[in-house]
Structure 1
Amino acid sequence: MTEVRLDPMTSEEYVAYHGDAVLAYAEAHVSAKSWPADGARQRAVDEYAALLPEGVATPGHHLYTARTGDQEIGMIWFAERAHGAGRIAYLYDIRVDADLRGRGHGEALMRAMEHEVRAAGLEAVRLQVFGNNAVARSLYRKLGYAETNVVMIKDLDRHPWGRASEVR
């Protein structure tokens, strides 16, 4: 298995990540039909600003750049959250560089994140994945994650959401 090292994300790395992440987040919501295309980009900007008001220095949030050796392969972001009487990690984002996918990096990155979660004294990892993201859903199932709820939609010939390529 690929050995992945998680290094705390630098402010410079965060700036590069943030620009791509906001657009991808808006496009994913439009593609999943959970947001209309009109205003999706601004909504994503606003959500990131609320979640990470201090960028990488936002308390309770852990953003890492993933590397194998000296090669950057992606990133991962989780936050500490109260859950019942305990505390869990909520996985907000995981990315493996497109040209490196399909080589086991995603699995190794998740396992490295789980190690960090345990080290932080957190009890579990919770995440949300878009239903149309079959690759991610397959990875999470392989790693033992269970679906806890499912949201479904049927498009009845009305298209208020637009297409991801129309994100504004």
Structure 2
Amino acid sequence: MPELIARPMRENEFAQWNEETTRLLAASHVAVGNWSSEAAPELARKARRDVLPDGFATAGMLFLKGLQPDGTPVGSVWLGLTYPRGTPDCAFIYFIEVDEAHRGKGYGRALLSAAENVVRSRGVKSLELNVFGFNAAAIQLYETSGYGVVTQQMRKSLDG
């Protein structure tokens, strides 16, 4: 696993990160058929506002930047210290992403490990995340990192 420095995201980095990841959220929901491409941008912005009503200052949320030792950014992770559906003693990864130029080099595993360490240091006993079914690389990463399926949704298109 490559060396990774995980530091808190700075407030001046948040706006650009939020915009980029909200676009990724919209695209993912379009890809799985949840939202139309026309409605997706506003639905993603609303979903983000609902979870982060105070933006960067929303209580219980942590935003981390993953950096190489020379300071080159390689990715980010957004953690909620409490589970959004109330599971006790469980934190939640809302978003984890390795920049495209750095994928396939072990940074995803390093960033995931850093997130786990941060949650553990806060006394939380488990960590959960959601992954879109089309994201085979992420699913493999999570499985090989010890994550197991808790719930699973499946869909069949009936239009032809």
- Percent of residue pairs identical: 32
- Partner residue of 2:152? 150
Q: Which has the higher contact order (CA 8 A, sep 6+)?
A: 1
**Match for residue 76 of structure 1?**
77
Counterparts of 1:1-168 in structure 2, within 5 Å, are 1-69=1-69, 70-81=71-82, 83-84=86-87, 86-157=88-159
Q: Is the 8 A contact 1:7 1:64 kept in 2?
A: yes
Q: In the aligned structure 1, how far is the partner of 2:145 from the partner of 2:27?
A: 26
Q: Please, which moves more after superposition, 43-52 or 138-147?
A: 43-52
Structure 2: where are the runs of 5+ without partners?
A: none
Residue 134 of structure 1 aligns with an amino acid whose one-letter code is A
Specify every segment of 5 or more residues in structure 1 that has no aligned partner in the other structure, as ranges: 159-168
CA distance in 1, matches of 2:97, 2:13: 13
TM-score (norm. length: structure 2): 0.92
1:8 aligned partner, one-letter code: P
TM-score normalized by the length of structure 1: 0.88
CA RMSD in angstroms comes to: 1.4
Structure 1 stretches of at least 4 aligned residues deviating more than 4 Å after TM superposition: none
Give 3-state SS (helix, strand or coil) of 2:82's partner.
strand
